[in-house]
Amino acid sequence: MNIALFGGTFDPIHAGHLWAAQTAARKFGLHQILFVPTGNPPHKVRDQLTPYVHRYAMVALACAEHPRFIPSLLERPAPDARPHYSIATVQRAKKCLRVRDRLYFLIGLDAFLDLRTWRDYRRLLDAVNFIVVSRPGFEMREIREIVPGGLVASGAQPRQRGELRLRNSHIYVLQGVESPIASRNIREAVPRGESITGLVPPLVEQYILKEGLYRLA
Domains and CATH numbers, the chain: 2-179 (3.40.50.620)
pLDDT for the residue 118? 95
**pTM of the model as a whole:** 0.92
Q: What residues does 34 pair with on adjacent strands?
A: 5, 70
CA distances 202 to 81, 132, 138, Å, are: 32, 27, 32
**Separation of CA 155 from chain center:** 30
Q: pLDDT tens, 134-176?
A: 988 888 899 999 999 889 987 655 556 789 999 999 999 998 8
- Cα of first residue to Cα of last residue in the chain, in angstroms, is 41
pLDDT for the residue 11? 97
**Separation of CA 20 from chain center:** 9
pLDDT for the residue 43? 67
Q: pLDDT tens, 38-86?
A: 998 876 655 689 999 999 999 999 999 999 999 999 999 988 778 899 9
- Show the beta-strand stretches assigned E in the chain: 2-8, 32-37, 69-71, 102-108, 129-133, 163-165, 170-174
How crowded is residue 70: how many other Cβ atoms within 10 Å of its Cβ?
16
Rounded to the nearest 5°, which phi and psi values hold at 75?
A: -120, 35
* Mean pLDDT, residues 83-101 taken together: 94
Q: pLDDT tens, 1-38?
A: 999 999 999 999 999 999 999 999 999 999 999 999 99
